Amino acid sequence: MNTRRGTALVTGASSGIGAAYAGRLAAQGRDTVLVARRAQRLDDLARRLREATATTVETLVADLSDPDDLARVARRAAGDDIEFLLNNAGINGYGPFADLEPELMTKVVDINVRAVTALTRAVVPAMLERGRGNLVNVASQLAFAGALPPHPLPERAVYGGTKGYVVTFTRTLAAELAGTPLRIQVLCPGLTATEFHRSRGDEPVPGREQSPHEDGGMSVEQVVDASLAALDAGEAVCVPGLGDPGPVADLARAELAIRTAARRCGSRPGPDAAGSSTHEEGAHM
């Protein structure tokens, strides 16, 4: 018997991590709102979840790169029943930057950055007012791969940049909201057995059945397991497969060292040194 809980809104729910996460949340007793571009996929998943969990499932067919569609989803996300937001929708736009089609580049930024930010902004005020809520933004381990060369990694300047934004945005928001009842996480999976590499994102993968790429990777179930466990543990950064949290702590220490060194170099001698340093730091943040 399920205990009814607040509603979860899941973007990119038609396959992969989004579909698996929606299934897990429904099994927990949450009603769900499923968002994606592929209507048939959403309808099939909604039917399975209703039959398996007896929960209420809504579907919203939307392309989050379209401003009208994004506004429609944001209005639903702002509803007073939404207690869990999974910002999972994302496209890759892989390829040499000099050859990347401007339209696809814009679409990558719109979905990976603008939609994540807008939907987060839609849910957080209501969650704070109610005193409860969960937010998971899906980034990628490629957010940490900026200086690594392509091959075997993809050519990924725009995609990696957008996922770097998601990491910084979510970590900074988690720090801002520390001490509130909200649980906030950035999920950074590596290669996962999904359809992600079957399309650059300009068009969704066709067909009603999922067709994971042949490159292998972690299963979607393992990714969801890691995310939910980290959420329960209060960890703002989840990297599935990373057993030692040391690298995440090292990253925070390195950032502090960079900021501290920059403040020292930016300060000027004299009675107004402290004020000048503070002013310059704020001006460059």
Give backbone dihedrals phi and psi of 106, rounded to 5 degrees, phi first. -65, -40
> Distance between alpha carbon 65 and the CA centroid of its chain, in Å?
15
Q: Tell me which residue of 63, 7, 48, 85 sits closest to 210, measured CA to CA.
A: 48
Longest dimension (CA), the chain: 72
CA distance 20 to 261: 44
**159 belongs to the catalytic site:** yes
Where do runs of H (alpha helix) occur along 32-97?
39-53, 67-77
- Burial (CB count <10 Å: 0-12, 13-18, 19+), residue 68: exposed
Query: Which residue is associated with the tokens 């933004």?
Result: 137
Catalytic residue among 21, 94, 159, 165: 159
CA distance 111 to 26: 25
> What region does 239 belong to: left with phi over 0, alpha with psi -120 to 50, or beta?
beta
- Enumerate the active-site residues: 159
